[in-house]
Structure 1
Amino acid sequence: MRRSIAAAAHRPGRGWVIVAIADLDSDVRKREAERFNTDIAVENHRQLLERGDLDAVIVATPDDSHGAIACDMLRAGVPAFVEKPLGITVEQCDTILSTAYETGTRLYVGHNMRQTGVVRLMRDIIARGDTGEPKAVWVRHFVGYGGDYYFKDWHADRSRTNGLLLQKAPQDINVQHWLAGGYTSRVNALGDLLVYGDLPRREPDTPRPEGWLRDFDWPPTAQRDLHHVVDVEDVSVMNMQLDNGVTAAYQQCHFTPDYWRNYTVIGTEGRLENFGDDPGDTVKVWNSGPSGYRADADISYRVPNADGSHGGGDSRITAEFCRFIRQGGATDTSPVAARMSVAAGALATRSLREGGRPYDVPALDPELVAYFERGQVP
């Protein structure tokens, strides 16, 4: 499911190569070892540490295991690329950051959306001042394949994910923070399990249905063979107050007929909105008025072309990671930003399960913040 990062990092003869696989599933080990042409395929990641010749590791396991695996690698001096989210609790994230700091081992977090064409285009528009100073950032996330992607395996179990605001939202929250220039300081949320809670489930230890990511069921109420544990919300709405005064909102639904996300940024002098995130799609800006709605906008920008998965984001972050472990220096992705997006999502999840009670996001140790802002230089 997360092979795209490893595939982007596999460049034989061009600087870096996947040389080893660790996975609990023997079929996966065999398949991936053949894919990457390696005979090193082990069951436990700790077996890799015995080799002593790894330059780095990509942690692309289920979310609840990120913390333990990443910390094992960091303590062994192996730089770690942690797929998003960094963890499923604030405490897990802080432990990973502290371990990287204490060991001096380089840590990178795979927030590939920062490297997608549409996000960088929106950031450039804001930086140029086309919409003035950002004051509100909204995201609507329509997860059209939600029943298939997130309710037929471990994602549906809150003990593995905490909630889907931790699985899906951290990428978007991270981007909202980036576009707005601040971090969430206070959050509340509402949500529920409205559709998938009462649909037929598989027995424990039963494999997922054949073709589960190729044959999609419609309508959502026609879904069958869901995971035996389904206790995460399939719709959620969270509100954020950022530390620089910007107000943000994120909405997520897993039973829509279409799959896309919509960003809106409103500033002191205009508004921007993305209409798709594929190459050739547009970001529109309205910065004259007042008027009724105008579909043509004042300015339209085309999302630039990109090669590779996730709008070119996977190839860009793996290239940045490999450059970082070799040379160090600043990176566009940020372990601190990754922690802050998880913190917002984790506290929003707690809030929606407590009737919308607001929570303040705990601050991160200033010494850790300074360390990562320096590019992980002591």
Structure 2
Amino acid sequence: MGDHGRPTGSEGSELRVGVVGVGQRAHLATLANRPGVARVVSCADPSPRGQDDAGHLFGADVAIHERYEEMLDDRLDAVFVLTPDHLHTHPALFFLDAGIPVFVEKPLAITVADCDALLTAAFRSRTRLYVGHNLRHLPMLRRMRELIDTGAIGTVRSIWCRHFVGHGGDFYFKDWHAERAHTNGLLLQKGAHDLDVIHWLAGGYTRDVVAQGTLAVYGDNPRRGTPGAAPERRRMPDWFDPDVWPPSALRDLNPVIDIEDLSMMLGRLDNGVLTSYQQCHFTPDYWRNYTVIGDEGRLENFGDGIDGDPATIKVWNRRRSGYRQDADLSLPIPSPDGGLHGGADRALVDEFLRFASAGGPTETSPVAAREAVACAAAATASLRTNGTPVAVPEPAPELVHYFDNHQTAPAPAADSARQA
């Protein structure tokens, strides 16, 4: 039995899995089709295309519904909520209240209030809540975390992240992502990945931010799509063409664009670590660069290992004059054959299925997911008020205590000492 009192994959049986929202991220749920472990048996999507895709992705036997409320009759053991960001909250609350473990795609929600409502629902119902922060399973970042935990650079004092979003125009400015009503902004929608990683590597959460941002490139582009042209039928693979360059040459942008394509923020964590995060959606390259500075050295990644790209972590922890490309330690990161995000998506789904069935600690954290949204929302408020400092609200102590005791993976001894 699960925390919620209903059977969750009794021994020898497969978990019966549901999917809400069969769109761009539905491939995640295909990884849950594991004979003897789990099987997708039910889907809900209001659009004809989503319903069509459900049959193609999950087979002729899958039950297909227009409304997620109808899925309860399919006797589910777990549910993936893979809707657009602003539509996460209601289905997630519905299934948490029904006692069914829920996977919510990141970001958890686009407002702090909705994040807190989801944490509170999981706390009150004792239902398992999981958030899809797949970067915590990325081989490059896991190796970076191991180096920090073993003291390779001493105590962490600062983390810088530069995110070069080379396909930003295609990925985020041709559909619902381009509207504040659906994302809040890309510091939240896209940045929640990186802010969660920064918190994870630093061992703390952001409490104060300042930020600046602008719509530098895509706002002046007059080549917009037709308003009201059934945008739910269009998805990024339908229009993506990497040969269109420069970004100003893009066509069929979303009719409404009221988010930033260039953002920079500074943060102070509750453990004193200082951070910076920069995000640009019109670079020619597409990767993340993390620099972690400790009081005994620094480390940095070159390439991030996503989708088979090569990655190397370099550590400098001896003093020399000038830049040294060879570094004191250079670690190539092998990328698993096949699998999106360097195998992180499969590891993420595997962890969720295990968690839905048996509970226990997880590498991802609902509280951390909420803190990433809270940090991003505060930074977005700051940049839209010309860099006004904004405090990041803390979650309720009883929620932190509950998830710390029921889901948080124990920190290594070195990590505990680093945070002391």
Structure 2 counterpart of 1:297: 327
**Aligned ranges 1:42-81 → 2 under 5 Å:** 42-51=65-74, 53-81=75-103
Check if 1:228 corresponds to 2:255. yes
- Give yes or no for contact 1:4–1:314 (8 Å, CA) kept in 2: no
Q: Which amino acid aligns with 1:79?
A: P
Q: Which segment is superposed worse, 193-202 or 157-166? A: 193-202
For 1:41, what is the secondary structure of its paired residue? strand
Please give the alpha-carbon distance, in whole angstroms, between the structure 1 residues aligned to 2:405 and 2:348: 19
- Give yes or no for contact 1:306–1:312 (8 Å, CA) kept in 2: yes
Q: What displacement does 1:81 show?
A: 0.2
Q: What displacement does 1:289 show?
A: 0.7
Identity of aligned residues (%): 53
Q: What displacement does 1:39 show?
A: 3.5
Structure 1 counterpart of 2:27: 4
What TM-score do you get using the length of structure 2 for normalisation?
A: 0.87
- Give yes or no for contact 1:143–1:259 (8 Å, CA) kept in 2: yes
- Give yes or no for contact 1:90–1:343 (8 Å, CA) kept in 2: yes
Please give the alpha-carbon distance, in whole angstroms, between the structure 2 residues aligned to 1:320 and 1:215: 33
Q: What displacement does 1:213 show?
A: 2.2
Q: Deviations over 1:328-362 (max 9, x none)?
A: 11111000000000000001001100001111111
Please give the alpha-carbon distance, in whole angstroms, between the structure 1 residues aligned to 2:335 and 2:190: 24
Please give the alpha-carbon distance, in whole angstroms, between the structure 2 residues aligned to 1:215 and 1:50: 44
User: Cα gap change, 1:281/1:88 in structure 2, threshold over 3 Å: closer, same or farther?
Assistant: same
Please give the alpha-carbon distance, in whole angstroms, between the structure 1 residues aligned to 2:158 and 2:174: 35
Check if 1:277 corresponds to 2:300. no
Q: What displacement does 1:4 show?
A: 3.0
Q: Which amino acid aligns with 1:123?
A: R
For 1:321, what is the secondary structure of its paired residue? helix
- Give yes or no for contact 1:104–1:376 (8 Å, CA) kept in 2: no
Q: What displacement does 1:317 show?
A: 1.2
Q: Which amino acid aligns with 1:57?
A: V
Q: Which amino acid aligns with 2:390?
A: Y
Given the alignment, which residue of 107, 121, 134 partners 1:85? 107
Q: Which runs of 4+ in 1 moved over 6 A?
A: none
Structure 2 counterpart of 1:374: 405
Structure 1 counterpart of 2:3: none
Structure 2 counterpart of 1:202: 225
What is the aligned residue count? 375
Structure 1 counterpart of 2:190: 168
Structure 1 counterpart of 2:280: 253
Q: Which amino acid aligns with 2:331?
A: Y
Check if 1:101 corresponds to 2:123. yes
Check if 1:333 corresponds to 2:355. no
What TM-score do you get using the length of structure 1 for normalisation?
A: 0.96
Q: Which amino acid aligns with 1:187?
A: V
Q: What displacement does 1:325 show?
A: 1.3
For 1:18, what is the secondary structure of its paired residue? strand
Q: Which segment is superposed worse, 34-43 or 130-139? A: 34-43
Structure 2 counterpart of 1:191: 213
Please give the alpha-carbon distance, in whole angstroms, between the structure 2 residues aligned to 1:243 and 1:131: 20
Q: Which segment is superposed worse, 17-26 or 80-89? A: 17-26
Please give the alpha-carbon distance, in whole angstroms, between the structure 2 residues aligned to 1:119 and 1:98: 30
Q: Which segment is superposed worse, 300-309 or 94-103? A: 300-309
Please give the alpha-carbon distance, in whole angstroms, between the structure 2 residues aligned to 1:57 and 1:174: 23
Given the alignment, which residue of 295, 301, 304 partners 1:268? 295
**Aligned ranges 1:146-161 → 2 under 5 Å:** 146-161=168-183
Please give the alpha-carbon distance, in whole angstroms, between the structure 2 residues aligned to 1:291 and 1:49: 65
In structure 1, list runs of 5 or more residues that go unmatched: none
Please give the alpha-carbon distance, in whole angstroms, between the structure 1 residues aligned to 2:240 and 2:54: 18
Q: What displacement does 1:299 show?
A: 0.3
In structure 2, list runs of 5 or more residues that go unmatched: 1-23, 409-420
Over the aligned positions, Cα root-mean-square deviation in angstroms equals 1.5
Structure 1 counterpart of 2:265: 238
Structure 2 counterpart of 1:353: 384
Please give the alpha-carbon distance, in whole angstroms, between the structure 2 residues aligned to 1:129 and 1:181: 13
Please give the alpha-carbon distance, in whole angstroms, between the structure 2 residues aligned to 1:189 and 1:24: 37
For 2:276, what is the secondary structure of its paired residue? strand
